[in-house]
Amino acid sequence: MRTSQQGSPTGVNAAGHGLGSALGGSAGRRLPVPPRERKPALAALAVLLILGGALVSAYLVVQSGKRVTAISVAKPVAAGEQIPLDALESVTVSNTGVEFLNWSERANVVKAYAAVPLVPGTLLNNNMITSEAQVAKGRLIVGLALKPNQYPAEGLSIGDTLALYSMGGSDKSPRPLLLSADAEVRQVVAPSATSRASSSGELLVSISVKPEEAQAIALASSAGAVTVAVVPPGTTVPTRPGGQNGQNGQTGQGDRTKTGGG
C-alpha cells in the first residue's frame, strides 16, 4: 500500500513533465511562411507611369508658359475710324512668333485709329493702327439710302470697299455710270422695326469717297439711282462700263482702277 501511494505522485510529476515538454516543443516551432512572389512587370509599369506623369506635367508647364493674352478684333472698324473699346476682345494664343498686341496695351489702342479696315477675328498688330486718322484725311463722308435691289443680298459691312454706279436711264447716258471705284463703308444702320424704311428693307450707309466724287454721288443718292457692288480685295474695277474706252473698244491700263486693298 505504501509503495503504490508513493508511485502516484511520481506518475503525476512524470505526466506533468511530459506535458510541459510538449508545450515547450510546440512553442519553439515556427509556422511556415509562404514565399514572396516577385512581379517585375508590375514594378516596371509603376515606374513608367511615374515617369510619364512627370513628363506630362513638365510639358504642360512649358506650354502654359508660352501662352499669352492678345488683342483680337471683335467688331468691324473702318479705316481712319478711332478704335472703340467694344471692338476689342481678349484671346489666349501661343507665343509662336506671330505679331500681335498684348491685351495689356488696350488702353493705348483705343486712342489710335484703324490704318486698314479691321475684320472681326483678326489679331491686332502695330501695322493695323495709326496714331492719327491719316486714312480719313482728304475724304468726304456721304450718306446713302439703299433699297434691297441696290445692294448685295448678304448686306454690307464696315470696311467693305464699294464700287458705286449711277443707274439713271437718260438718253445721254443709257448705260450705268461709275461714280466711285473705292468708296469705303464707315457705318451701316438698319432702320428701326417701327419705321417705314424697315418694312421696305432700306439700308442707311455712310461711305467715305474722294472729294471730286462726292457731288455726283450725293445727287444720284437723292434720286435713288445708286447701286453698289462689293469689291473683293485685289479686284480691278473698270472705270468705264464694260472696261472699254470710247474710241476703239480696247481695254487700257488707264481705264481700270485696282481697289479692294490690292
- At residue 154, the pLDDT reads 87
CA–CA dist 49, 47 (Å, integer): 5
- At residue 12, the pLDDT reads 47
CA–CA dist 165, 220 (Å, integer): 9
In which element (H, E) is residue 144 found? Answer: strand 140-146
- Strand 67-73 with 226-230, pairing: unpaired
- At residue 97, the pLDDT reads 67
- At residue 192, the pLDDT reads 56
- At residue 252, the pLDDT reads 39
Is the pTM of the predicted complex or chain greater than 0.85?
no
* Strand partners of residue 40: none
- Greatest extent of the chain over all pairs of C-alpha atoms, in Å: 168
CA–CA dist 213, 40 (Å, integer): 86
What residues in the chain have per-residue pLDDT under 50?
Answer: 1, 4, 8, 11-12, 14-16, 19, 173, 193-195, 197-198, 242-254, 261-262
CA–CA dist 128, 215 (Å, integer): 31
| Amino acid sitting at position 150 | Q
Cell matching residue 210:
474722294
